[in-house]
Amino acid sequence: MSDERAVIAKRVDSGATADTSEITDLARSAGYEVVGELTQRRKEDAAFHFGEGKVEELAALVAETDASVVIVDNRLGPYQTYNIGGKLPEGVEVIDRFTLILEIFGQRAQTRKAQLQVELAELRYELPRAEAKASLAKRDERPGFMGLGEYDESRERDIKAQISNITDELDAIADKEETRREQRRESGFDLVALAGYTNAGKSTLLRQLAAELDVDENENRHPDLQRTAESEDRLFTTLGTTTRRAETGKRNVLLTDTVGFVSDLPHWLVESFQSTLDSVYRADLVLLVVDASESVEQMREKLVTCHDTLYQRNEAPIVTVLNKIDRVDPEELARKQDALTALAPNPVTVSGLTGENVDALRDRVEAELPDWREERLLLPMTDDTMSLVSWIHDHGHVETETYDDDHVTLAFEASPAVVEQARSKAERLTTSAGEEATEAQRERSAQTDEPAQTDGGPSA
């Protein structure tokens, strides 16, 4: 991680408020030491983004604080980046909001899928800049025009080819993950996703809900059970997805923690992480986690952004979880709930840190998941019957289990897929038992009807 000194700069339109809290957190999350900040309220300048006088003020602040990086909490065009850099002391780098986010993603990418998604986002970010370089170089016939670098006519084609190759590989990974999701459902698991803004406490909440936290990680366990996500007070601790079995009650639940949302993300960046977001879009239930200690305005803005992202493709029910209630007094929490009723009807209030109300969240998860079906099976007592009984216990919830000399009767609840599998297994078991009974009857009949002597041997 970087240990460089950075100055934060942000422009907002006239009348807006320049909030630098998130970009400061992002910068620190990337490892920068934030040593100063500068804001401006005015319309965007085509050449410098800021007003030229404000850029000169920025240069003075950089020199005063001995910063080596300027982080702009806006999206800069390639020309604006160059123009601002030309006003700053020599050697000072200018990066915008999305370059910073990609830098953090690159630091956190551990899996092949995460690394591919980061690379895809970087290429999509670079493509318009490469096109701009090419356009300027062609127009002015001067390689490196405006300091944008030497023109390489093949660079655009290379980027587009890389994007195509990475997209194909991510599609293949997505197909495998979709197959795995269906296998999980067929195995009786309900899939629940944790969504929400970064630092809302999703990973801490996962630790509260996850079962078997004390199990030796080297033991042979269900392949879906992974190490619990880190619970650190930094952004993007969870870049990929972390899936753990959750303890909610009678249902078998797999809970997935995903990368947190960040405000003002461009379409190309969200699309680059489509494979990760599929774990949210294709879940049976989404828990939308919100930091209850933030202001109503912040909570409302984040809820709107999350809803815009989730409701585009998500078909599962969404339950809003107001987390970190240990930081809010009850009266304030009640006022916030009232103010956000339209966006967050009937939320669950919890503290992932202390565990307060987590049991209520477990009950809500059970209540919101797709309905199970009730089934009753009469099974013949055979050598394979107990294997089927054990399978039903593992994949559903057995209400009653009774035995007599020849049969086992099971009354249970399970997902429709598991009920159909149980019926099929029971039918095969019954058929097999019937065939064995018929064969045994044939053998008895053969023994009764055979002649007194066979092949000169003694009688039976």
CA dihedral 119, 125, 130, 132 (to 10 degrees): 180
C-alpha distances (whole Å) from 168 to each of 172, 176, 276 are 6, 13, 15
Phi, psi of 320, deg, nearest 5: -80, 130
- The answer on 134 and 95 residing in a single domain is no
Which pLDDT score, from 0 to 100, does residue 267 have? 65
Phi, psi of 198, deg, nearest 5: -60, 145
C-alpha distances (whole Å) from 48 to each of 81, 97, 129, 138 are 8, 16, 16, 23
- The answer on 117 and 44 residing in a single domain is no
- The answer on 405 and 317 residing in a single domain is no
Which pLDDT score, from 0 to 100, does residue 86 have? 93
Q: Which residues contact 206 (CB under 8 A, 6 or more apart)?
A: 194, 228, 229, 242, 244, 255, 257
Which residues are known binding-site members?
Answer: 196-203, 238, 257-260, 323-326, 351-353
- The answer on 102 and 118 residing in a single domain is no
Residue in 30, 25, 28 with CA at minimum distance from that of residue 1? 30
- Which residue, of 348, 368, 388, is where some domain finishes? 368
CB contact at 8 A, 261 and 197: yes
Q: What does the pLDDT look like over 273-296, one tens digit per residue?
A: 666 677 777 888 999 999 999 999
Which pLDDT score, from 0 to 100, does residue 449 have? 57
- Which residue, of 345, 368, 391, is where some domain finishes? 368
CB contact at 8 A, 100 and 8: no
- The answer on 335 and 229 residing in a single domain is yes
- With a cut of 60, say whether residue 145 has pLDDT above it: no
pLDDT-derived band at 333 (thresholds 50, 70, 90) equals: very high
Helix and strand counts by DSSP (H, E) for the chain:
14, 13
Q: Is the dihedral of CA 313, 318, 322, 324 positive or negative?
A: negative
Residue 123, in any domain of the structure: yes
Phi, psi of 454, deg, nearest 5: -130, 120
Using the 8-state DSSP alphabet, how is residue 345 labeled?
S
C-alpha distances (whole Å) from 307 to each of 94, 178, 238, 287, 343 are 33, 23, 21, 12, 9
- The answer on 102 and 115 residing in a single domain is no
- The answer on 433 and 291 residing in a single domain is no
Greater model confidence, 130 or 176? 176
Structural domain boundaries, residue 300 = 188-368
The b/e string for 213-248 (b: 16+ C-beta within 10 A; e otherwise) is eeeeeeeeeeebbbebbebeebbbbbbbbbbbbbeb
Which residues are known binding-site members for Mg(2+)?
Answer: 203, 238
- Which residue, of 79, 106, 133, is where some domain finishes? 106
CA dihedral 409, 410, 416, 417 (to 10 degrees): -90
Q: What does the pLDDT look like over 303-328, one tens digit per residue?
A: 988 887 777 666 788 999 999 999 99
Residue 385, in any domain of the structure: yes
| Separation of alpha carbons 60 and 207, rounded Å | 47
- The answer on 378 and 364 residing in a single domain is no
Across the range 430-458, mean pLDDT stands at: 61
- With a cut of 60, say whether residue 222 has pLDDT above it: no
| Separation of alpha carbons 206 and 420, rounded Å | 31
> The whole model's pTM is what?
0.64
| Separation of alpha carbons 252 and 255, rounded Å | 10
- The answer on 160 and 192 residing in a single domain is no
Query: CATH no. for residue 241?
Result: 3.40.50.300
Residue 456, in any domain of the structure: no
- The answer on 325 and 258 residing in a single domain is yes
> Would you put residue 300 in left (φ > 0), alpha (ψ -120 to 50) or beta?
alpha
Q: What does the pLDDT look like over 20-30, one tens digit per residue?
A: 988 998 899 88
Which pLDDT score, from 0 to 100, does residue 152 have? 56
| Separation of alpha carbons 454 and 128, rounded Å | 93
| Separation of alpha carbons 152 and 136, rounded Å | 12
Residue 221, in any domain of the structure: yes
Q: Where are the beta strands (DSSP E) in 81-173?
A: 93-96
Residue 452, in any domain of the structure: no
- The answer on 204 and 151 residing in a single domain is no
Q: Residue 214: CA atoms inside 13 Å, Cβ hemisphere, count?
A: 0
Greater model confidence, 354 or 239? 354
Look at the chain and report how many structural domains it folds into: 4
- DSSP for 367-383 reads HHSPPPEEEEEEEE--T
Residue 332, in any domain of the structure: yes
| Separation of alpha carbons 362 and 287, rounded Å | 11
Query: CATH no. for residue 39?
Result: 3.40.50.11060
Which residues are known binding-site members for GTP?
Answer: 196-203, 257-260, 323-326, 351-353
Greater model confidence, 227 or 105? 105
In three-state secondary structure terms, 30 is coil
- The answer on 357 and 329 residing in a single domain is yes
Please give the single-letter amino acid code of residue 225. Answer: L
Average pLDDT, the chain: 80
Map tokens 């065939």 to a residue: 435
